[in-house]
Amino acid sequence: MSGTKLRLGVNVDHVATVRNARGGRHPDPVRAALLAAEAGADGITAHLREDRRHISDDDIARLMAELRVPLNLEMAATDEMLTIALRHRPHAVCLVPEKRQERTTEGGLDVAGGHNHLAPFVSTLSSAGIRVSMFIEAETRQLDAAKSIGAPVVELHTGAYCEVAPGPERERHLKRLQTAADYATKIGLECHAGHGLGYDTVGPVAAIAALAELNIGHFLVGEAIFIGFEASIRRMREAMDAARA
């Protein structure tokens, strides 16, 4: 697997966060998504939250109409979101846990404990030709549960790894990610990772040969303030490629 190109999914949620601060149209996350694709993004990710705090229903419709790269729709496992996903049929859906009060997606989905609730979502989305991914913590029991529920893809939560300072604790988180990614591919799951990644944390994760895709958003949008969105994506792409080389 070493040397396989690692895909970069660019999450445009926080372009919408800035737009929504004033309630108008600028900056447009769809324009950002098109620019991201030009800058080397292999796909675009957008999270339609229950409270619509950033991405809107109209953004999803426009992304589906205008994008020429795959759209990965992040969503909670609710009936409302299922109806929306089936209407648009994006390339992929990543099922994430969602709490209204949280600032961002704070933990992984409990696939092991939520099997009965989640199974119909996975089968209905899969039957519609949508590639289903489960956003989980790097734990064997969650990987086994994702496999048994029939999801072809998992995304490992990198938040805890990114939040701690460099040192032994970060190394421990990295090791967990590495072990989980290896195990995921061993049991036949495609493995992605994301949340909280930036230039100083992406290298060791990108070097994990079992990973096929990273999804990165907040840092890229923040860095765009200083160097521009295209440049921030190109630099991330270079950091990923350098770590893989």
Q: CB–CB of 174/161 below 8 Å? A: yes
232: contact with ligand PXP by CB under 6 A? no
Exactly one of 14, 54, 74, 192 is catalytic; which is it?
Answer: 74
Residue 180: CB minimum distance to ligand PXP, A:
15
Of 62, 218, 234, 237, which one interacts with ligand PXP (CB under 6 A)?
Answer: 218
Q: Is 117 a catalytic residue?
A: no
196: contact with ligand PXP by CB under 6 A? yes
Which residues between 88 and 117 bind ligand PXP (CB under 6 A)? 94, 96, 104-105
Residue 17: CB minimum distance to ligand PXP, A:
10
Of 121, 161, 183, 219, which one interacts with ligand PXP (CB under 6 A)?
Answer: 219
Burial 166-186 (b: 16+ CB within 10 A, else e): eeeebeebbebbbebbebbbe
| DSSP 8-class letter at 62 | H
Number of Cβ within a 10 Å radius of residue 62: 16
Helix, strand, coil in percent for the chain, rounding step 5: 50, 15, 35
The three-point CA angle 27-101-124 to 5° equals 80
C-alpha–C-alpha distance, residues 207 and 224, integer Å = 24
Q: Is 192 a catalytic residue?
A: no
Quick one: which segment of 118-126, 136-144, 179-187, 210-218 binds ligand PXP (CB under 6 A)? 210-218
155: contact with ligand PXP by CB under 6 A? yes
C-alpha–C-alpha distance, residues 132 and 115, integer Å = 15
Of 194, 210, 229, 232, which one interacts with ligand PXP (CB under 6 A)?
Answer: 194
Going by C-alpha positions, the residue among 90, 50, 61 that lies closest to residue 73 is 90
Of 6, 8, 10, 11, which one interacts with ligand PXP (CB under 6 A)?
Answer: 11
What residues make contact with ligand PXP under the rule CB under 6 A? 11, 13, 47, 74, 94, 96, 104-105, 135, 155, 194-197, 215-219
Provide the annotated active-site residues. 47, 74, 195
